[in-house]
């Protein structure tokens, strides 16, 4: 099986589980099989499914944090090492949060793993399904060593962080 140039050589049952799972559930399949596949496969697939899953933060933080802690950092930062290394020891991050939207979509806490270094992108996330423009925008500082992954694959400048380590969270106007 191959996903976006990631060749999966693992157990056929793992591949079948991945193929059957809906997109948001692929992270759970990966978690179930974590100890039965190679660390590099696990890390590549974690990165891929995180980037390609809408609302990956829907699972409990502790589970997600442990998934990232178990991954290979080199793989999680692949292609963005220089940009990441150029950041200071404390990184300014932003998060756009919605409330009062259709169903539970968008009712995410600020203490979650997905943040961005791009304030415009955070503002877009805050208001993407709101017509009134009243989404909330937050800023905080995260020590660089508590950033699990950085990617700009969808032009989001996403930082996957340990949300319990973010400092000085403030709401911006």
Task: Give the highest mean pLDDT range of 36-40, 48-52, 104-108, 114-118.
Answer: 114-118
Q: Domain end: 19, 42, 75, which one? A: 75
- pLDDT confidence of residue 4: 52
Full domain range(s) for residue 116: 80-172
Separation of alpha carbons 74 and 54, rounded Å: 24
Q: Read off the pLDDT of residues 119-170 as tens digits, 9 standing for 90 and up.
A: 999 999 888 876 777 788 999 999 999 999 998 877 888 999 999 999 999 9
pLDDT recorded at residue 3: 60
Please say if the pLDDT value at position 79 is more than 90: no
What is the tens place of the pLDDT at every residue in 16-69? 777 787 777 888 888 888 888 889 989 998 998 888 877 788 888 999 999 999
The Cα–Cα gap between 145 and 150 comes to 12
| pLDDT confidence tier of residue 94, bands split at 50, 70 and 90 | very high
Answer yes or no: do 118 and 35 share one domain: no
Q: What integer pLDDT is reported at residue 106 of this predicted model?
A: 39
93 and 40 in a common domain: no
117 in the same domain as 145:
yes
Do both 84 and 152 map to the same domain? yes
Per-residue confidence (pLDDT) for residue 26, from 0 to 100: 83
pLDDT of residue 91: 97
The number of domains in the chain is 2
The answer to whether the beta carbons of residues 108 and 57 sit under 8 Å apart is yes
Residues 71 and 85 in one domain: no
* Per-residue pLDDT at 5 exceeds 60: no
Same domain, 51 and 11: yes
The CA–CA distances, whole Å, from 158 to 9, 116, 117, 134 equal 29, 4, 7, 22
Domain boundary among 58, 75, 92: 75
Measured between alpha carbons, how far is 163 from 111 in angstroms, rounded to an integer? 5
Residue 15 has pLDDT above 80, yes or no: no
Q: Give the model's pLDDT for residue 107.
A: 42
Same domain, 92 and 144: yes
Domain end, chosen from 34, 52, 75, is at 75
Q: What is the pLDDT of residue 142?
A: 98
- Asked if 166 and 109 touch (Cβ cutoff 8 Å), the reply is no
């Amino acid at each position: 099986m191959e996903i976006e140039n990631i060749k999966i050589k693992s157990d056929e049952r793992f591949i079948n589980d991945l193929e059957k799972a809906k997109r948001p559930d692929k992270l759970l399949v990966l978690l179930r099989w974590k100890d039965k596949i190679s660390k590099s496969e696990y890390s590549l697939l974690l990165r891929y499914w995180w980037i390609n899953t809408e609302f990956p933060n829907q699972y409990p933080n502790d589970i997600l944090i442990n998934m990232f802690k178990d991954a290979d950092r080199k793989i999680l930062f692949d292609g963005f090492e220089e940009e990441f290394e150029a950041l200071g020891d404390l990184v300014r991050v932003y998060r756009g949060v919605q409330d009062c939207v259709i169903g539970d979509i968008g009712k995410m806490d600020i203490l979650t793993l997905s943040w961005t270094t791009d304030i415009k992108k955070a503002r877009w996330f805050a208001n993407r399904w709101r017509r009134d423009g009243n989404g909330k925008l937050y800023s905080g500082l995260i020590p660089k060593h508590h950033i699990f992954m950085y990617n700009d694959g969808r032009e989001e400048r996403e930082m996957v962080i340990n949300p319990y380590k973010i400092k000085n969270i403030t709401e911006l106007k």
